[in-house]
Amino acid sequence: MADDTIEMGGKTYKPGDVIREIDRGTFKIRIIYGGKIKKKE
Amino acid sequence: MIEDIALHVLAYKWDGLFTPFSIIFTVPAESHYLVDITPKEGWVYFLLRFGGYTTGTDVTLDVSYKGRKVMDTIDNFPDVNTYFHLPNIFSNIFDTTVTFDFSNSGTDSALVCFHGVVLAFEEAKARKFLEDIKALAEIPKDIKETNRLLGELNDILKGIIGRL
């Protein structure tokens, strides 16, 4: 597994992957894995 | 300052739809989680309020729109029952995605509950709604127009009450 991926519920997510999408009629909500926090040099 | 009742009546006048949302998710240690809120085609929205809580102590939140932050970073996402209000909510009419970036710098994962209220309009009606909001907010500048609008709001209210 690459450093910047996570595993949840048997699935592997990389940054930018949509974890969940919710339709609320006039708008939609997406929950997205954003990746690891970049450490400051 | 627009009173809540005026806000609701004006939203009713222009067919605005109030929609609450509430989501719960786990942000892994030292990671970002993004929550995107995107209007459907032909719709725009105002974010009336949002808030939430987290089990973590190192969770921060950045809110951005079209690549720009719309408010200062919220450090240590608050405890339950604490709400943040976007500054000048009616100067922020969103016609595309608003991104909420939850950042957990802790070494443990953190549970986050995030909730809020969206007020959505069809695009043309949102502009009319804003004109009314501005007319109400500028009472000293144009008392005649404001009185006309208040009279109209009163009639709408009477209509609503009459149907109850």
Residue A2 lies in a domain: yes
A32 and B35 within 8 Å at the Cβ level: the answer is yes
Rounded Cα gap, residues B91 and B113, in angstroms? 26
A34 and B32 within 8 Å at the Cβ level: the answer is yes
Tokens of residue A31, six digits: 């929950």
Cα of A36 to nearest chain B Cα, Å: 4
Q: Give chain B's domain count.
A: 1
Closest alpha carbon within chain A to B121: A26
pLDDT reading at A27 higher than 80: yes
Q: How confident is the model at residue A30 (pLDDT cuts 50, 70, 90)?
A: very high
Q: The domain spanning residue B92 has which CATH number?
A: 2.60.120.1330
A31 and B23 within 8 Å at the Cβ level: the answer is yes
User: Residue B65: CA atoms inside 13 Å, Cβ hemisphere, count?
Assistant: 17
Among B36, B28, B50, B35, CA closest to B119: B50
Residues of chain B with pLDDT under 50: 1
Helix (H, G, I), strand (E, B) or coil at B47: strand
Residue A40 lies in a domain: no
Residue A29 lies in a domain: yes
Residue A25 lies in a domain: yes
Among B residues 119-158, those touching chain A with beta carbons less than 8 Å apart: 120
Q: Tell me the chain B residues in contact with residue A37 when contact means C-beta distances shorter than 8 Å.
A: 30-32, 103-105
- Domain with A9, as residue range(s), is 1-35
Q: Sheet containing B43-54: which strands, arranged edge to edge?
A: B17-27, B110-122, B43-54, B83-84
What is the model's pLDDT at position B164? 67
> B83 at the A interface (CB within 8 A)?
no
ipTM of predicted assembly, 2 dp: 0.89
Closest alpha carbon within chain A to B122: A26
Q: Give chain A's domain count.
A: 1
pLDDT, tens digit, for every residue of B104-131?
A: 999 999 999 999 999 999 999 999 998 8
What is the model's pLDDT at position A2? 58
What is the secondary structure of A1-41 as a DSSP string? --TT-EEETTEEE-TT-EEEEEE-SSEEEEEEEEEEPPPP-
Which one-letter DSSP state was computed for residue B28?
A: P
Which one-letter DSSP state was computed for residue B79?
A: P
Rounded Cα gap, residues B146 and B134, in angstroms? 10
What is the model's pLDDT at position A40? 63
- Domain with B126, as residue range(s), is 4-163
The structure's pTM equals: 0.84
Supply φ then ψ for residue B23, to 5 degrees.
-135, 150
**End-to-end Cα, chain A, rounded Å:** 24
Considering only the beta carbons, identify the residue of A27, A30, A36 that sits closest to B43: A27
Rounded Cα gap, residues B118 and B109, in angstroms? 28
A6 and B28 within 8 Å at the Cβ level: the answer is yes
